[in-house]
Amino acid sequence: MKTCAIIPVKSFSRAKTRLELDTEKTEIFCHVMLEEVLDAVSKSKHIQKIILVSKEEQAFQIGKKFQCEEIFDETESSVNNAVNLADSWISENDFSRSVVFPQDIPFMTTHDIDILFNFQIPSNSVIVVPSRHFDGTNALIRTPSDIMKTRYDEGSYKFQFEAARNKTNHYSLALIQRIMLDIDNMSDIDFALKKNIKPSVCQKLREIFGIDNGSS
């Protein structure tokens, strides 16, 4: 079954405002997050193509290292719109399912992705991985990709379930810790550093945020 990963990427300068970083550090931070996500996804045997949807040139430059398909998102109006753009490409290129990942889950590993795809996936189904606080969606597998329109930008993963429920009886929740951990604020960073989740990423975050090894 041919699977395509969709990664919507907001312009770095507009991303993660709650972290209150200056422009240079924000761009470095976004670069680190996206590269970690792409590295994990590109190594998964379950995914044959990665689509980046963005208008951020730096994102496309990073994506070239991973042979990503580039879709220019002129408006950056919503995650749903970005996914719709990718869905159009998928329908024209004979992919049978898709998985959507956000750009801000740098702790995810290829092993986590393989665990997700090792779930029994019927031919007409939806699988959701929520965020750590259960207030968002950190992975969404749709089989086929056009089984439902996504409902990001509304908050809880439950909105995805509601959309899925209207289309199929096969929808489920998967709880995979590192996929569930996105970075929106300093409490998310503190949580990851205290648990030393994916140590190489934690070290990069310490350097960006000026955090001593002994203070986490």
Instruction: With respect to residue 31, please indicate whether it lies within any of the assigned structural domains.
Output: yes
Residue 1 pLDDT: 85
Judge whether 202 lies within some domain.
Answer: yes
pLDDT computed for residue 215 by the predictor? 56
In this prediction, the residues of the chain whose per-residue pLDDT falls under 70 are: 214-216
* 213 within some domain: no
Contacts of 207 (CB under 8 A, 6+ apart): none
Q: Which of 158-166's residues contact partners 24+ apart within 8 Å by CB, and which partners?
A: 160/126, 160/128, 161/126, 161/128, 164/126, 164/128
In a domain, 79, yes or no: yes
Give the pLDDT of residue 156. 80
Q: What is the CATH number of the domain that holds 203?
A: 3.90.550.10
Q: Is 114 exposed, middle or buried (0-12, 13-18, 19+ CB in 10 A)?
A: middle
**Structure confidence at residue 165 (pLDDT):** 92
215 assigned to some structural domain:
no
Whether 16 and 29 have beta carbons less than 8 Å apart is answered as yes
Q: What is the pLDDT of residue 122?
A: 84
Domain range spanning residue 168? Answer: 3-208
Whether 74 maps to a domain, the answer reads yes
- Into how many domains does the chain fold? 1
pTM of the model: 0.95
In a domain, residue 216? The reply is no
67 within some domain: yes
Q: Give me the residue label for tokens 């240079």.
A: 24
